[in-house]
Amino acid sequence: MLIGELARQTGCEVETIRYYEREGLLSAPQRSSSGYRRYTAEQLGELNFILHCRSLGMSLADIRNLAAFKADHDHDCEDINLLIDQQIAKVHQQVEALRLLEQQLLALRDKCHESHAAADCGILQTLVEAAEGAPCVCHTPFGQDNHGHSQDYDHTAKKNGRSNKDRP
Amino acid sequence: MLIGELARQTGCEVETIRYYEREGLLSAPQRSSSGYRRYTAEQLGELNFILHCRSLGMSLADIRNLAAFKADHDHDCEDINLLIDQQIAKVHQQVEALRLLEQQLLALRDKCHESHAAADCGILQTLVEAAEGAPCVCHTPFGQDNHGHSQDYDHTAKKNGRSNKDRP
DNA sequence: CTTGACCCTGTAGTGACTACAGGGTGTGCA
DNA sequence: TGCACACCCTGTAGTCACTACAGGGTCAAG
Ligand SMILES: [Zn+2]
Ligand SMILES: [Zn+2]
Ligand SMILES: [Zn+2]
Ligand SMILES: [Zn+2]
């Protein structure tokens, strides 16, 4: 099977397959005399495994780990569970963050109903005033006194909690 | 005000401020004789505006547009509403996609309860069998006959209805 | 013998930053 | 005066998971 056929069977693009090989996720296939990649059913399974994991939102690093666990049959599956649990936690946090975001955007959207000049637009006014330190519908949940607003939408929280001196 | 002070007041990192200037989001400040950037209260507001919009999940391109609308006072605010509505739609789609993802991960997690060898792990078995074409708990919602599974987790959907990488 | 579909490698681009390298500037203290 | 040290500058390259070429080679059909 050539790469184009594998791409057709998996729904994965040719360049992505080559990328996975470069990244060491997909084992390097045999080559024809002219250098064409020749795939077997085994590699079809390998690629489907990767695509399945990707569809569950796993990073390529996670998938590499998972593939290593898969190869090491006697290894305890505790690490697999940990990986899945971390993935669940990550996704859950993202859901929560995005739900909050949606509420904030809806509150902001509610500031403008009918068409008018930008200078009078409640949305723009809210954004400009918030930039000057005023409380805003989007980041002031419910009649909350909000001094020093600019520190409140903690954009550093998105990274990992604290920002300044963290080194990965 | 030098760049470090602006960073302290906004909670934005120095390199990010320079990045915003390079990207044309923040107007270029005056320079001291030695080339140091000197910021005024106006630019503090500009930066807070950007950070506020970023905290609402807007892209830098959206923020650039919004800033242009802000400058053009007589422009109709219809475009602003459109931008916000699109942002809401985008976030909503992400929430839905991630909620589905969470359910899929929980279903998969449910395949393993107690610690055992990787070879016997229900999670790994599910993933391997799914790669071979079998239906899987994560992508077969409810006793559904699922032939040709590999086409089902439509990885192309990520292009339009983006999955999880947007909000790290 | 040409057309066109397919294959190869290698490089560069995406978004929104982050992390240096390698240098210059300004202030306080002995 | 010398020096430490905090801060500033530019420019480049890295992150992640691809995607998009450029510029070439291979192969079967007509
Ligand atoms: Zn309006
Ligand atoms: Zn707000
Ligand atoms: Zn298990
Ligand atoms: Zn599945």
pLDDT score of B140 = 78
- Which parts of chain A have pLDDT scores under 50? 145-168
pLDDT score of B148 = 41
Chain B residues inside the 8 Å CB shell of A77: 112, 115-118, 120-121, 123-124
- The closest alpha carbon to B19, from B33, B31, B5, B7, belongs to B7
**Pair A10, A63 in one domain:** yes
Residues engaging strand D (CB under 7 angstroms): A 13, 15-16, 19, 32-36, 54, 59-61; B 2-5, 7, 14-15, 18, 35-37, 155, 158-159, 165
Alpha-carbon gap, residue B111 to B114, rounded angstroms: 10
In a domain, B76, yes or no: no
- Smallest CA–CA distance, residue B125 to chain A, in Å, is 9
Question: DSSP string of chain B?
Answer: --HHHHHHHHT--HHHHHHHHHTTSSPPPEE-TTS-EE--HHHHHHHHHHHHHHHTT--HHHHHHHHHHHH-TTSBTHHHHHHHHHHHHHHHHHHHHHHHHHHHHHHHHTT--S--BGGG-HHHHHHHHHHTT---TTT--SS---SSGGGTS-TTHHHHH--STT--
Tokens of B95: 């929430």
pLDDT score of B99 = 96
Residue B151 zone, left/alpha/beta (φ > 0; ψ -120 to 50; rest): alpha
In a domain, B162, yes or no: no
| Mean pLDDT per 10-residue segment, chain B (168 residues) | 97 97 96 97 97 97 94 90 96 96 96 87 94 92 48 40 33
**Could you tell me if A66 and A87 are in contact, meaning their C-beta atoms sit under 8 angstroms apart?**
no
pLDDT score of A149 = 40
In a domain, B12, yes or no: yes
| Closest chain B residue to the Cα of A119, Cα to Cα | B73
**Pair A90, A148 in one domain:** yes
**Pair A105, A140 in one domain:** yes
pLDDT score of B151 = 40
**Pair B148, B90 in one domain:** yes
- Could you give phi then psi for residue B37, rounded to 5 degrees? -70, 130
Domain count, chain B: 2
Chain A residues inside the 8 Å CB shell of B82: none
Q: How far is the CA of B120 from the C1' of D15 (A)?
A: 36
Q: Of A42, A71, A100, which closes a domain?
A: A71
Strands B37-38 and A30-31 come out as unpaired
Q: Which domain holds residue A97?
A: 81-152
In a domain, A166, yes or no: no
**Pair B59, B116 in one domain:** no
Select the residue from A19, A80, A94 to test the B interface by mutation, using most B Cβ atoms within 10 A: A94
**Pair A91, A62 in one domain:** no
In a domain, B28, yes or no: yes
In a domain, B102, yes or no: yes
Chain B residues inside the 8 Å CB shell of A56: 101, 104-105, 108, 138
Chain A residues inside the 8 Å CB shell of B128: 45, 49, 70
Q: How far is the CA of A36 from the C1' of D24 (A)?
A: 14
CATH of the domain at A46: 1.10.1660.10
**Pair B102, B128 in one domain:** yes
CB–CB contact A49 B128 (8 Å) = yes
pLDDT in tens, A120-168: 899 999 999 999 999 999 997 655 544 444 344 444 333 333 333 333 2
- Three-state secondary structure of B62-73: HHHHHHHHHHCC
In a domain, A100, yes or no: yes
Q: How far is the CA of A44 from the C1' of D26 (A)?
A: 24
CA of B78 to the centre of ligand 1 (A): 7
**Pair B62, B86 in one domain:** no
In a domain, A167, yes or no: no
Tokens of B79: 């475009």
pLDDT above 70 covers a percentage of chain B that reads 83
Q: Is the CB of A18 under 7 A from strand C?
A: yes
**Pair B86, B67 in one domain:** no
